[in-house]
Chains A and B, each alone.
Chain A
Amino acid sequence: MTAESCSLLALAPDDLREFALSDFEKSVPRWCPGCGDHSVLTSMQRLLAEEGLAPEQTVFVSGIGCSSRFPHYMKTYGFHGLHGRALPLATGIKLHRPELNVFVVMGDGDCVSIGAGHWLHAMRYNTNMVALLLDNHVYGLTKNQTSPTTPQGHRTMTQPRGSYLPPVNPVSAALGITNASFVAQTAEWLPPHLYATLRAAYEHKGFSFVRILQRCPKFTEGVFTGFIEHPDSVQLIEHGDGVAVPALARTYKNRIQHDPRDIDAARSLAEADDITRLGVFYRNEDRPTYDELRAIPQRPVEEKMRLLSEELDRHAI
């Protein structure tokens, strides 16, 4: 259904309401103290307030896991779905109601493991929405099991002698998918960068995939300590069409200019495993979006009845 067919449009184009962060706050999050989810939640609430997104026109869709409680803490519409299956739900919402602002929140188990198939195809559909991978490198809610992004050698309850395999690199995987249109990486411990990246993702027309590196104080404490204590081990990818965060310039001197239209450069930047890069790797608004490709004009009831009658004529004896 498109906007025209709605009996009453809640958000008129001249909606002049202004929103504060508190307009998007619901219940008090039940995440652990020190969990990176808190930071993402605050940045997201700030984005919605500053962009003036009407709460009733916004839907947060999630899978299962710590971070997937996200919709419960947002005063918007939400669908807390199944493990790994947030993206199909979000695709359905957007196909039926393209005018809604849709955000998807997934954990690394959701996106990179049980829902990896949906992730690949959602990148390719390029439906206009923001998809966040809150990557703490571990299964938290089920209490410390190895995830596909767990660093090799890291001990968990299921691999107590250390994770056997090298971790999946979600950024380079995403960049390998046909029709990918926006791929970025940020970190929750750098709120200005996180905010700038979320904002760029929201502004992008298409499927905006953002991997957010995120601390889990319970099970992967220390995994990111090196990056936090040694800013030089983090390289910021900057560009006028990407993100640039002047506030970080004094601390983060390791920066690189990269045109996010350059897919080959994006892939080689993503491949490097000796350094962590934050910023927009790739961005291309010329890619067709699935919701636009499949947008179909609605027919009034009388016309539907006439067409149905014609169709029955085809089967008439």
Chain B
Amino acid sequence: MAISTTVTSTPAIDVASAKSPPAATRLSQHTVEVVSDSGEGAQKCGQIFGAVCAKQGNGIWTVEIIPAEIQPPAREIDGASGNRIRIGSGPVTNWGDQANVVVAFNEQALLSRHRLGALDDHAVILIENMWATHPDGDIREQWAAAMDELAAKPYRVIEVPMEERCLTVVDNPALGKNMFALGMLTWLYGLDRGHVCEQIADTFRGKSREVYEKNVALLDLGSHWAAENLGFRFEVPRQAPTEPMVVMNGNQAIALGAIAAGMGLVAMYPITPATSASHYLAEIFEKFGGVVHQAEDEIAAAGVALGASYAGKVAFTITSGPGLALKTEFLGLAVTTETPLVLVDVQRGGPSTGLPTKVEQSDLLAAIFGQPGDTPHVVLAPATIEECFHIMITARRLAETFRTLVVVLSDANLATGVQPFPRPAIDPAWLAAAPDLSAVPEGTRPFEWDPQTGLSQRILPGQPNGMYTATGLAHDERGVIAYTSDVHQRSGTMRSRKMAVLQHTLQPPTVHGDESGDLLVVGWGSTKGAIEEAVERARQGGHSVSSLHLTFLSPMAPGIKDIFQRFKKVMTVEINYSDEPGAPYITDENRRRGQLAWLLRASTLVDVDCWTRIPGEPLRPGAIHEAILAHLPKGGAR
């Protein structure tokens, strides 16, 4: 970072000498939220805070709180924007339960978090107090009403004159409160000022020196105010990481993973929450010889990726649920022409346009079965930010080896969540080799299916003697249109056999906890950290609970039924809809279950139960813990 050497030369307000600092309360983990109206910079504040905590050796998990609109009306409950940062003395795998410290720029944003049950009963609330004395009587009334509502909980509400203090440094405090808030948090958690300044410099790289200095002045102002006025501090002990670490969000990890996998083209159409991966690729992909093609629509994006894959290296397309729906026909074409293709679906709340910025896991069955006709293909789900990186390498290889479609199911939680992970030991073997365009023997057939495995060698345009026509019509080994029963039966068998062959190469998944017991919780995707934390709590409470997390959704890894049979009860935990048993009209026969539960019931014939929610936010470990206790088989506690 070019300007970091000068960072420490900015004169600092001597916070320590202002008042002797209070002893810090030591905690193993703590959760902080910063919320504001859109455009006031709460996200930036939260991101810098999280990045510095990670740099100093805390585990972190951050979640963006984002409205669907760019700038919704000010001071509106639904418009709250910000960031939640959970920090821990060890690795943090999920966003946790309730927030312990909240910095709010107005009482409406705060109220939205309160009403969502996002705040711990004893949360420390640092709230901008300019609204209490605002010239607009309506606003003063709203403030008073909000304070009454908040009084129902034993929150520790501390009024902060953010605007008033910021005005001593800047003309427009709306552009500076976030750094003031960052200053308060810096003092509250004892962050290293130099690290914070470095991070500010990185955030505002490309801006003028003056901008940087103003931000640092506001930072110091916030720290100073906190030192003068807060009689408490927190300490979440840090451990220096034992290996090199990187920190990023899941969409960045997917983008870097695609590069590490040697892919050279992504075709996309803008859609939340997938697009930030393409933004990142647009910034860096060309350096690596890669192309981001922004297509005219979702269908064209799939078509361009498929055409590119047909002609050379495996390409990918990235989208979310509505885009997955539109691409469906091309996905079937990829499967039947046995053209490798990777599709990333960053899931959001559905159905239809649904909850564009919020997490859900409701595309699972559409990803596996959504293509009309029989279209065997691979569906994978990363569970962590680290897996978002590595899964792209796996996906590219599988697509190529098995000449098929690989769908990667990420979600909004992973897309925007930030977590440190061990720096990948990048390997040139991950990069796809340049295509071999040498001549094939005369008479080579494009679908030379091995009768045992269904596998065949792909031929690329440019290879002499290999000329053939890929077609979505039923075709034989030569690629020639064939409507006969035996060819259709055989080609269908060959495409399906490949999935069985892949399944044979997979290891049975690892059980988290004991190998047998009362209750097994099964999950997939981004819920892993929260599920395992909940299972740990239950185990500490003396309950016989384990969990299993699936990366391969189609085909599924072997041995799952064997694992199920070692538990008295099996249930899934998912972020998608299921009917509550006992609700009006709901019977065991008509109950619509979670999507993974459907799959597992069908493939194992085990009576798999489920607990699912569609809150538009990640599941909290506390809520999963309660569900576990409620679902324990009778007499389960040991």
Contacts and interface: CB of A to CB of B under 8 A. Distances in A.
Contact of A88 (B295, B468, B480): B295
A305 B426 CA distance: 7
Interface string A213-249: 0000000000000000000000000000000000000
B462 A100 contact: yes
Nearest to B429: A301
Interface stretch (B111-119, B239-247, B542-550): B239-247
A191 B295 CA distance: 36
A92 B436 contact: no
A78 B459 CA distance: 12
Interface string B243-264: 0111110001000100110101
Interface string A59-82: 111001000000110111111111
B265 A89 contact: no
Nearest to B292: A294
A85 interface: yes
A153 B54 CA distance: 72
Contact of B306 (A89, A117, A304): A89
A118 to B, nearest CB: 6
A85 B296 contact: no
Contact of B462 (A6, A72, A305): A6
A118 B307 contact: no
A56 B467 CA distance: 6
B372 interface: no
A81 B297 contact: no
B426 A308 contact: yes
A71 B469 contact: yes
Contacts of A138: none
A77 B436 contact: no
B54 A317 contact: yes
Contacts of A307: 287-288
Contacts of B77: none
A26 B568 CA distance: 63
A57 interface: yes
B311 A93 contact: yes
B307 A1 contact: no
A305 B248 CA distance: 19
B333 A81 contact: yes
Contacts of B295: 88, 121
B291 A92 contact: no
Interface in A251-304: 294, 296-299, 301-302, 304
A142 interface: no
A192 B299 CA distance: 38
Interface string B422-440: 0110101001001111110
A163 B391 CA distance: 53
A28 interface: no
A72 B471 contact: yes
A72 B478 CA distance: 11
A315 B288 contact: no
Contacts of B424: 312
B482 to A, nearest CB: 12
Interface string A1-32: 10001111111000000000000000100000
Nearest to B329: A82
Contacts of A77: 461, 466-469
Nearest to B463: A56
A155 interface: no
A292 B558 CA distance: 48
A118 B434 CA distance: 30
Q: Tell which of B299, B330, B431, B467 has the most Cβ of chain A within 10 Å.
A: B467
A78 B299 contact: no
A92 B305 contact: yes
Given A88-B295, A316-B245, A299 B289 contact: yes
Contacts of B245: 316-317
Contacts of B304: 88-89, 91-92, 95
A88 B298 CA distance: 11
Interface residues of A, number: 63
Contacts of B333: 81-82
Contact of A61 (B307, B420, B436): B307
B377 interface: no
Q: Main SS of chain B's interface residues?
A: mixed
A85 B256 contact: no
B264 A1 contact: yes
B428 A305 contact: yes
Contacts of A298: 289
Contacts of A61: 307
Given A82-B472, A304-B288, A312 B246 contact: yes
Contact of B311 (A27, A55, A59, A297): A59
A267 B549 CA distance: 62
B309 interface: yes
A96 B311 contact: yes
B90 interface: no
B87 interface: no
Contacts of A118: 296, 300, 303
B434 A1 contact: yes
Contact of A96 (B265, B329, B480): B265
A59 B461 contact: yes
A82 B330 contact: yes
B293 A55 contact: no
Nearest to B426: A308
Contacts of A210: none
B307 A93 contact: yes
B514 interface: no
A97 interface: yes
A100 B435 CA distance: 14
A307 B296 CA distance: 30
B330 A296 contact: no
A317 B57 CA distance: 9
A229 to B, nearest CB: 37
Nearest to A310: B287
B436 A8 contact: yes
Nearest to B293: A95
B286 interface: yes
Contacts of A74: 469
A1 B467 contact: no
B291 A93 contact: no
Nearest to B389: A312
Interface in A94-153: 94-97, 99-100, 117-118, 120-121
A304 B288 CA distance: 6
Contacts of B471: 71-72, 78-80
Given A87-B300, A92-B303, A316-B423, 5 more contacts: A57-B461, A95-B291, A301-B431, A311-B284, A316-B244
The 5 closest A-B pairs by CB, nearest first: A92-B307, A88-B303, A78-B469, A89-B307, A92-B304
Interface of B: 54-55, 241, 244-248, 252, 256, 259-260, 262, 264-265, 267, 284, 286-291, 293, 295-297, 299-313, 315, 329-330, 333, 337, 420, 423-424, 426, 428, 431, 434-439, 461-473, 480-481
27 contacts: A9-B437, A10-B464, A57-B461, A72-B469, A72-B480, A79-B307, A79-B310, A80-B472, A88-B299, A88-B306, A89-B304, A90-B307, A92-B305, A95-B307, A96-B309, A97-B462, A117-B300, A118-B303, A294-B293, A296-B286, A299-B287, A299-B289, A305-B426, A308-B288, A315-B247, A316-B423, A317-B245
